[in-house]
Structure formats: structure tokens, C-alpha cells
Copies of this chain bind each other. A is one copy, B any other.
């Protein structure tokens, strides 16, 4: 059996969080993860460090890692920053588009639709986040790209923490609408569609109050 790379393990954990199999506040013991993924603890440590930088887990010295538990304020801030960054991505993207990129983008949405129809939750999660990262990549701005990756992973966590059901909330139709406006070269319409899309995602959550039950006795008291 091939040993998993750091990135592969990180993605697996990210997916588990997005699928709400790993809930905010849950502890991630190094030895446990090492056994599950059949790798050394050193590698698990790298993975956890990476997940921490993406805001998915928090690590306390000599205490270990737990899945991060974003508050309502965190969520609102991230959505606000994200909408600003997505606008910036579109601004840059409109000047960098060509036919090949356009095709690739529509193909991505097509894959989203297939996953949606077959109700493949894992693929749906990967692809709907991936759409926004792809836009940033095609804008060919290194920093925007890494920032978007960060924002998407944090959004996944927020979505997992505050969403009611296991249903995804980032459908292919709205993505396609953005692409259509881009294809027409209508930047303003694309930005509007993006803003609406993000607002739909945010409003699908219950950000009014912290509804999450505490994960442990400690959480209930602290």
C-alpha cells in the first residue's frame, strides 16, 4: 500500500470536517490519526500544522489539536473578506480569459452538475469549493489564489458548523450564471451574480445565534 502524502491526508481531514463527520471541538490525537492513515506521527504533525494555518484546527501547546469552532463573528468576517476578494478575482480574471480557460470552467460546472445529480456528497463538496479556487487560479495572481484557498477552506468549516442539514449549499446553477456573464464580458453582471451567490450561501446558514451544542463538559462551562 502506498503511503499517503501530507496533502492527501489534509484533504481527507478537510472532507471529514466538511461532511460533518468531524465536528468542531473534536480532538485529533496524533497517534490516532497516524494509525488511521498508516503514516508516522511526524507526518501527521505536518498535516495538523497545515490545517491550523488554514484555520480548520487549533493547536494548543502540549494539549494537541481540535477541530476549530468558529464563532458567529468569525463567520461574518470571513464572508465579508471573501466577498471582497471574490470581486477582486473577477476583476483580474476578465482580463486574462481565453477560449481554453472558458471551456475548462464550463467543464468544471458540468462535473458539479453530474455530482449533484448522483448526489455524491464528497464530490459536490470538493467541486463547489474548487470552483472558486479555479477562478482565482485562472486570474493568475499567486496571492489571490492562496488567499482564496484559505477562505474556501474556512468557509467549509463555517458551513459545517452552522448549516442545518448535510445538504450542500453551493449549487452549479449560480456558478454557471457567473460564467455566462464572464463569457459575455460583462464584469458588472458577473460581480453581481457572485455577490448574490455568496449571499445565498451565507443566508443558508443560521448565523443569528450560536446553536452548536457544546462538544464536551469543558466547553459547556468555559
Contacts and interface: CB of A to CB of B under 8 A. Distances in A.
Interface residues of A, number: 21
B81 A143 contact: yes
B77 A141 contact: yes
Contacts of A73: 141
Contact of A143 (B92, B141, B146, B154): B154
Instruction: Select the residue from A46, A88, A141 with max chain B CB neighbours within 10 A.
Output: A141
Contacts of A62: none
A141 B46 CA distance: 26
Given A73-B141, A142-B74, A81 B147 contact: yes
Interface in A137-178: 141-144, 146-147, 154
Contacts of A81: 85, 88, 143-144, 147
